[in-house]
Structures are given as C-alpha cells and as structure tokens.
A and B are shown apart, each in its own frame.
Chain A
Amino acid sequence: MENNIRRLAYGLISLFLILILYLTYLQVFQGNKLVGHQQNKRLLAYEAEIARGTIYDRQGRILAETKAVDGKLKRLYPMGELFAHLIGYTSIKYGKTGLEQAYDRLLLGLNDEQKLDNFVNRLQGQPQVGNDLILTVDSQLQGLGRALLGNRRGAVVALDPRNGEVLALVTSPSFNPNLIEKTWAEISGDEEKGILVNRATQGIYPPGSIMKVVTGAGALVKDPLLGQATYDCPGYLQIGDYRLNDLAVHGQVDFNRAMAVSCNTTFGQLGIKLGPQDFYDNALAFGFLEDIPFDLPVKAGSLPEPGQLTKAGLAQSAIGQGKVVTTPLHMALVAAGIANDGVMMRPKVVAQVRSGDGSILSNPGEKKWKNAVSSQAARAVKDAMVQVVAEGTGRSAQLPGLAVAGKTGSAQNPHGATHAWFIGFAPADQPRVAVAVIVENVGYGGREAAPIARQIMGKALEITR
C-alpha cells in the first residue's frame, strides 16, 4: 500500500504543479488580451472613478471638464459642437475620439510615471485626478471659423508657421459631444454628410490649383531661371492627344503672373519640365504621403507613382487634379512652409500637459518637421503668392495695411461643383499665421474660400505676436 500512496501523492501533487504552470500561462500569454477585452468592465469601472483632466484653450478658457453631477462624474464640453472633432468625446458605449482618445492615459493620470502616486492615493481612499491639457487653439478664432463655414461642409485650419502651433482646427458639419449618446443614431447614420469625420485631418481632397504652390516651388528649385521666363497660354495645353483646358487665354505670362491668374497651361508645363521623378520627390519633400506627426492621427494623401505618370498625368498632377489628394491640415502646413522660408514646422495642438497640482508633465517645444524647399525658392513662390492676393484670383483675402500671400483653388471632384480652396499666410514679410480653407462643392476658391481666410487671418493676427 505504501507504493500506491506514493504514486497517488505524486499524481495529485503533479496536478497542482500543472495548475501553477497553467495559471502562469494564463497570466503571461493571455493576460493582455483578457485585461483589454471588450467585455472586461474593469478599465471602465476604474475610469469612472477618476476625474479626467480639464482641457483649456490658449487663453485658459475651458473646453472640456469633468464635474460631479448627482454624485457621478460627468464629462462636459461647455463649447458644445465647437471642438467636437478636435477634442472628441468620451462615451462608455461609443468609446473615445479626438484628443480624449489620443491623450486618454494622461487625461486619466494613468501614465506610468504617476502609477505609484495613484496606488498610494487609492490606498488612502483619495479620489484620483487626471492631468490637464493646455491647447494652442483659440476658441474665439475657432468660433469665427465655425461661423464662417455655417451650414456648408468644409474645414478651416489656422496655424503659426514659426512654431507649428495650431490656432484653429474647424470642421463642418459638427455635432454636440455632450449629447453623443442621445444623438448617436442621427449623427453616425448620415454617411453622406460624414458628421463624425474630422475633415481637417481625415478628409482627403484633390488640392486643385493650390498644388501650384508645390509645383512652382519644385520647378524653381530645379531651375531658378524658370522664375524669370515667360510662358505662352493659348487657353489650353496640348499634350499629344490630351488637351489640358485652362479657364482663360492668359497670353504671355511670367511666373508670378501665372500664379496670380492660376494659369493651368504654365503649371502643366512646369510639371512636365520637372519630370515624373523630380515632381514626385518634390511633393514628398512637402510631406505628401507622409504620416504627419501630430497629436491626432492625420490621413496620408496619395500621389501617383513616378513610374506610372504619363506627360498628361504629370500635367494634371502639377495642377492638383488627377490622382493627387491630401488633407486641409497638410495644405495649411504647405502654406506655412513657404511662409517659414521653406522650413515646415511640426504641427502641434497640445502646448502643455499639467498635473492636478500644477506641475508641468510635458511641454513639447517647437520642432522642425521638414526642409521642404530652399529659402530662395520659397521667397520667390511667396512673391508670386503676394501677387495672387494683390491683383489675382485671391483678392478677396486682402487685409488692410499689410501684404497677404495666398493661392486659390477650385478642385474638380466627382461629387458636384468644385471644392473651394484657399491657402495663404500673413503678413507676407513676417508671417504669423498660415491658413488652409476648404468649402466643399460651392465653386470658386477665390469667391468662397478666400473671404473666410481673410477674416481668419485678420483675427489670428490679433491674438498672435
């Protein structure tokens, strides 16, 4: 019987050892999956006990805050729909978007550095408080952009070209994040309007004629003499069987004049002079196809591969049609790059992360993103863009007493009337604001987008130094 007992003991004890191995396996290999599983209510329950941090604009105005309502913590957005896409929403049912998602851990104070503090707090039964965000945006400027877009679909981006600070990031249509759970069916159901899409960062549009800024800069880098040459515009550009139509017969034009009147013939030719590879490389230098480093995810646009570009396709791409598409935020950065002598600064919207007791956790300084183009070429393009506003298609963007640089665009698209575009900056000699405006399917950029840009730039110059 002794041996039987021994065997039984080995057997039973092995079962417990298997249990230890299995438990370790569960923890090591299944742990993360189980902790983050949708049905695991632990993270949500924990979050519900935390007062998320407050979000402020650059003037200290509250954009989002958490308050105790009837003993429960509630997230409130006092500006309503104004920052719905930028800041996003938080909902147990529908998750989180915008900065609420991107800065979730910091807003909750759940970042690694604060783990120990949190643990001690919880042990003492203290309520946990998250970190605050101070943004670079100005809610008045944002409000102006929102009002100017009105019921029309589109986006307005304003930023400081010197440091990449985003001053306004407006998207229309918008929704009220305070009512997200009540109105979800309505706002998520309308696919055509795309109410939930942040058009400024996620909307991809053909740039149309504002692409001429990029093409022009590339051409001047390749051959500075192209800036002094004159071009003949008979109202179209014939490339083999393909005819690239122009809006008018522009006759003999130089580079600046071609930009001012937005001559397709000239810029089609410049594109062809650049050649597929240089055109492509130049666009890449301006950040096309790149994931823009930003606090929110930005959709990368598209660009035809140089190997697939025929002369006709190249001429089309040079004027921002064909297969070229990108986002309003990116085009604002293009304008800012020209304004900043060819250097594109990295965009940012979060100026500071501050803990509940006021100490600064993160203070991202200004960072260079790309050397888009030489400073000489940038200045030459700038001169041309000043002429656009002074006497060309962008006259509606003129501000009293200072020079404004800009470029209009009217981008053809399969959804109806052209998208009205305007990118620009002011003052032209020492730019403090760069903008991109798009209004979907309303016609000419000079008529619809430039006036919005004028007001935005005017207001932005009041708030920046």
Chain B
Amino acid sequence: MSLSHRKNEGTLLLYVFLFVTTGLVLLALTKGRGVDWQPIIYGAVVTAVFLICHVFLIINKHQGDPYLLPLAAMLSATGLILISRLQPQLAAKQLVWLTIGLICLLLVVLLTREYNRLEEYQYVYIIFGLLALVGTVLFGTEVGGATAWISIGPLRVQPVELVKIFLVIFLASYLEERKELLAQGTFKVMGVNLPHPKHSGPLIIMWGLSVVFLVMQKDLGAALLFFGTFLTMVYIATSRWAYVLTGMLLFLGAAGIAYYLFDHVQTRVSIWLDPWADVEGKGYQVVQSLFAIASGGLVGTGLGLGYPKFIPEVHTDFIFAALTEEMGLLGGIGIILLYIIFLYRGFRIALLAGNGFGMLLAGGLTALLGIQAFTILGGVTKLVPLTGITLPFVSYGGSSLVANFILLGLLLNVSHGAVKHGK
C-alpha cells in the first residue's frame, strides 16, 4: 500500500515537470532568443528538487498524503514560470528559495514526524512569535507601505510568515488542552456565555497583541489572516458559533476604529468601493489588475504576449492577474481548483487525524492557507478589499515560500500519523 501511495505522487510530479519545462521553453522562444539553456536548466532543477523530495519520502517510508506535494509543485512551478516571465532576474532567487523551502519541508518531516510532541512547547511558540513581531516593529524595513520585513545582511525576511505557523501550532495545543473548559462558557457577558477569563485570557491577550503589532506595521493582510485563522480554530475546538459571532463583531468594531484612525485603511476601502474614482492614482493597481484579467479572455494572450507589467508589483501580490491575462480564465480557474483540491486534502487529513491536536493543527493550517489564498485572489479581482498578502506557493517571495513548505511538511506528518495508527 505504501509504495502505490507514493507512486501516485511520482506520476503526478511527472506532469508538473512537463508543465514547467513547456512553460519555460515557450518563454525562451517568445523572447525571440532562439534556444536558451537557462529555462531548461531551471526546469531540470525544479524537477530534481521535487524528485529528491519524493524519493526521500519513499526511503523514509513516509505514509503522508501523496497529493499535497504534487499540488505544491504545480503551484510553485506556475509561480516560477510567471516570475521568469515578469522579472527574469528574480527567477534564480525564487529557485533558490524553492530549494530551501523543500529542505525545510524535509527537516520538518524528519524532525516532527511524531508531531504530537509539538504540543509540549506551547509557550516557546508564543515567545518566539511575539519576539519576531516586536523585532519587526523595532528593526523593520518599510516596503510598499508595510513595515513587515527585517533585513539581515543582503537577505530580507518577513518574520510574520513564520509567525503565522507558530500561531496555528500554539492555538492547536492551547485549544486542545482547554477546549472543554472554553466550550462550557461560564462567564456571562450581555447574555452570552463566554469562557472564564482564566482560560480564555492568555489566548485573547496573545492574539490581541499580535494584531496590534501587525496594525502598527500596517500589514493589514497578515492581521486579517491571523484573525480569520484564530476564529476558525476556536470554532473547530469549541463548536460555539457565539464565539465566532462575538469575534466577528469585535473584528468589525476594530475595523471601524482602524478605518477612522488610519488613512491607509480608508484608502483600501474606498479603492474597493470605487477604484474608478481615482484610476490614475490610488485605484491604479486594482484597475490595471482588472484590465489584465479581462484582457486574457478565455484562454489568455499566450505566455509572454500580454502586458501584465502595467500592474505595479505584479510578481508578488498581483501574480494571479498576470496569470489570467496570459493563461486566460481557464488558467485562473485551474489555479483556483488546485487550491480547492489542496483544501480538500488538508481538511481530509484533519478529519482522519485521530486526535484532537492533530485535527486542530491540520484544520488550522489548511484554513490558514485557504484564507490567505482567498484574501489575495479576491483582492486582485476586486471581490473583497485588497490587502497585501502573497499567493501561497505562487507569488515571488522567499519567506512565504519557505513558510508554506513548512506548513506542507506539518500536514504531511499529521496525515502520516493517521495512516500509521490505522486511521
């Protein structure tokens, strides 16, 4: 069973290699440079790193879900092709980050195979997470309006990307330990039964602090992501809609306050309501994104034949707009379907995890990835207000890529545990 399990993974990876090689070769031809070895080498490297990863999992007799790795491979291959198209000089960097991401994945798979042990270090995550956030506020570099980066020599990392994973692990262990107590809700506030502050206090304080830090960094996307993940995990643990509703009300209140306090929040909302009011100014990016998406038609202009570079920062947050311009509505729907399959596999792992911590961990990580993907996909298409955040596995950005592969490693381990313990 175990071998056929991984066989699917191998077969699916083959398609990814075909895709990435075709894409990169096509790109080389489009530029009219004749045969260029660079994309072929890139294709070979992508092939090699994912194959090594695959073989490693086989040798390790890893029983984890065989579809997650090919899904991530397909998404990051799409990202690499688009980055080669949009910012060719960044493609090599992205490839390096991809390799580092896969190394991290393997380390996670190796070191946390008995993932239940993670439960024991609750406060390590909190302390590390908060330190990282405080560090970002104090020593951060501002890029594109948000102070979310720390420069270490030539490297620029985005600590929040890692913090979000720590947040999920922390919440999973904390909620697992106290879910009964929290669910009972013995503390009445305005007719709603809330858990006693003794149990919920640390949770709310920790979460509140991180949101405050994020708002201080003007990183709205991450704040929204933290909040959404927090609520979904509380809901999984306690089944209490009341908490979710209270949380949402709190969020709306906070959003209202933020709207009056911060210009950039007002700007985001007004752009969302009517980007056409200031097409040349504040609405420029969203409007250009809509133009790009519409110009793609059903099948797209063809790789390298559109004008996605009219969108500022297209290779990071707006990469989906570039994709739909050149690969069309079908390409865009394809990417969305990949995320849907990812969510399906992720939540399936959560359901089969067999223990509370595993369920919360897998469910939380999957929700995190889903919320993040939806926030930015909805943002660039103007379905929801735009908040700057990366498209998981696809956007350019090392920290995000590494974090998402760590997330993937954790999911694989939860799924391995379920298979090993007979579901």
Contacts and interface: CB of A to CB of B under 8 A. Distances in A.
Interface of A: 1-6, 8-9, 12-13, 15-20, 22-24, 26-27, 30-31, 33-35, 37, 39-42, 45-46, 119, 122-126
21 contacts: A1-B237, A1-B239, A1-B360, A5-B236, A5-B359, A6-B347, A8-B363, A20-B336, A26-B293, A30-B290, A31-B297, A34-B293, A39-B279, A42-B306, A42-B307, A42-B310, A45-B310, A122-B30, A123-B26, A125-B29, A125-B32
Contacts of A17: 340
B290 A12 contact: no
Interface residues of chain B: helix, strand, loop or mixed (majority): helix
Contacts of A41: 307, 310
A9 B344 contact: yes
B209 interface: no
Nearest to B347: A9
Interface stretch (B71-79, B99-107, B145-153, B369-377): B369-377
B236 A4 contact: yes
A8 B367 contact: yes
B333 A23 contact: yes
Given A20-B333, A23-B332, A30 B307 contact: no
Nearest to B290: A34
B350 interface: yes
Contact of A42 (B295, B329, B332, B339): B295
Query: A-B pairs with the 4 shortest C-beta distances?
Result: A125-B32, A34-B294, A9-B347, A40-B291
B312 interface: no
B232 A8 contact: yes
B287 A39 contact: yes
A20 B333 CA distance: 6
B185 interface: no
A39 B288 CA distance: 9
Given A8-B236, A16-B370, A18-B383, 16 more contacts: A1-B237, A1-B356, A5-B236, A5-B350, A5-B363, A12-B374, A16-B336, A16-B377, A20-B336, A27-B329, A30-B294, A37-B291, A39-B279, A40-B295, A42-B295, A125-B32
A123 B27 CA distance: 9
Contact of A19 (B287, B371, B374): B374
B304 to A, nearest CB: 8
B332 to A, nearest CB: 6
Contact of A5 (B32, B294, B337, B347): B347
A165 to B, nearest CB: 40
B343 A9 contact: yes
A19 B383 contact: yes
Contacts, number: 128
B378 A19 contact: yes
A29 to B, nearest CB: 10
Contacts of A123: 26, 29-30, 302, 305
A144 to B, nearest CB: 46
B339 to A, nearest CB: 6
Given A5-B359, A23-B332, A34 B291 contact: yes
B351 interface: yes
Interface residues of B, number: 52
B295 A35 contact: yes
Nearest to B352: A2
A125 B30 contact: yes
Nearest to B284: A39
Contact of A26 (B237, B290, B363): B290
Nearest to A8: B232
Contacts of A33: 294
A212 B298 CA distance: 59
A212 B363 CA distance: 90
Contacts of A2: 351, 359
Given A4-B236, A42-B310, A23 B302 contact: no
B264 interface: no
Contacts of B339: 16
Contacts of B336: 16, 19-20, 23
B305 A22 contact: no
Contacts of B324: 23
Contact of A124 (B29, B239, B291): B29
Contacts of B232: 8
B230 to A, nearest CB: 13
Given A40-B295, A124-B32, A19 B377 contact: yes
B112 interface: no
Contact of A23 (B235, B293, B351): B293
B381 interface: yes
A124 B298 CA distance: 22
A122 B305 contact: yes
B235 A4 contact: yes
Contacts of A22: 381, 383
A8 B235 contact: yes
A40 B367 CA distance: 36
Contact of B351 (A5, A13, A39, A45): A5
A12 to B, nearest CB: 4
Interface string B375-388: 00110010100000
